Amino acid sequence: MTDRTEERPDARSGSGARVEVVGLSAGYGRTTVLHSVRLTVEPGGWLAVIGPNGSGKSTLLRSVLGFHPHEGQVRVDGAPTTGMTRKDRARCLAYAPQAPVLPEGITTEDYVLLGRTPHRPLLAAPRGVDRRIVADVMERLGLAPMAGRPLTTLSGGEQQRAVLARALAQQPRVLVLDEPTAALDLGHAQQVLDLVDRLRRQDGLTVLSTLHDLTLAGQYADRLALLAEGRVVASGSPDEVLTAQALSTHYGARAEVVHGPSGPAVLPVR
C-alpha cells in the first residue's frame, strides 16, 4: 500500500535552507534602523525575532527578502541572494506580511494560485500542475471547502491561512513570516502557529519570523533573537533569551518568566 504523502503532486518544498545574515545594516534616509545584524537559521529551524516596537524587526525581514535596500549580505545555503534573480529568490523565499493586501473580487483559490507565479512564464495561465499543487496546499490547510468563496468573506483566521497557503504554493525552502498572529485572538493564534510548526516538521521548511507575543515565541520557535535599537542584544534558545533581566532592560517591563515543558511563559507582574 502506497503512503498517501508519496502521492502528493510535488506540493512540498523539500529540505529547508540555511539562512545567514551577515553585517546587515539598513535605514530610512539618514536614519539607520539596523546596525550590523548577524543571524543564522539552520535548515529546518525556526528563528523568531523579538523586540520592542521600533526595534527594526519588520525592516530586518524586508531586507532579508531584498525588498529594502541594505548593506551587508544575506546568504541562502552559502549563496548571496544579491546574485539571484527575483524569480529565483521567490522560489526559495516565501513571505507572509503582517498586513497583506487582500484583493477584492478574487476567490480564495485564485488568491492561493498567485503563489505559483514564480514557477510560470510571464502572463502564462495556471497549468494543471499549478492547480494540483494549490489544491493540495489548500487541503492541508483546511481551505478546500472555501476555494470558491470570495477571499474577503473569510474570517481573520481563515484569511491568515490563505496567506500562508499562497506562500506555501511557492514551494519555498524558507518561510518568512512577519507577525503571523497579528490581530488574531489566542485560539486562532495558536492554530496558526501549530500549523506552521507542523508544516515545518513535515516539509523540513526553515522558518524566520517576527513575533510580538513573547510566550508564543518562546513556546514555538527553536531559537530567539532579541533585537533592540537595531542591534541583536541576545540570541539563543528561548530559555536563554527570555529572562526577567532582559525584559526589564530592553522592554522596560516588569515580568516573571516561568519555565515549563513547552517552553518559557512570560507573565507580567503588577
- Secondary structure (DSSP) of 196-250: HHHHHHHH--EEEEE-S-HHHHHHH-SEEEEEETTEEEEEE-HHHH--HHHHHHH
Q: How much is the average pLDDT of 81-88?
A: 88
Q: What's the pLDDT tens digit per position in 72-82?
A: 999 999 999 98
More confident residue, 84 or 233: 233
Neighbours of 258 (CB within 10 A): 10
Strand, coil or helix: what is 129? Answer: helix
Residue 6 has pLDDT above 90, yes or no: no
Write down the pLDDT at residue 3.
35
- Cell numbers at residue 246, please? 532582559
Look up the pTM and report it.
0.88
Contact 98, 179 (CB under 8 A): yes
Residue 215 has pLDDT above 90, yes or no: yes
Strand, coil or helix: what is 41? Answer: strand
Write down the pLDDT at residue 246.
96
Residue 55 has pLDDT above 60, yes or no: yes
Residue 58: its H or E element: helix 57-64
Phi, psi dihedral angles at 182 (to 5 degrees): -60, 135
In degrees to the nearest 10, what's the CA dihedral of 106, 107, 112, 113? -80
- Contact partners, residue 13, CB within 8 Å, separation at least 6: 168, 171, 172, 173, 203, 204, 205
Q: What's the pLDDT tens digit per position in 152-184?
A: 999 888 998 999 999 999 999 999 999 998 878
Q: How much is the average pLDDT of 118-122?
A: 82
Domain that holds residue 185: 4-268
Dist. CA 218–CA 26, nearest whole Å: 27
Write down the pLDDT at residue 100.
85
**Number of folded domains that form the chain:** 1
List Cα–Cα distances, 75 to 4, 16, 65, 140, in angstroms.
Answer: 34, 13, 11, 30
Write down the pLDDT at residue 12.
53
- Contact partners, residue 142, CB within 8 Å, separation at least 6: 161
Write down the pLDDT at residue 199.
85
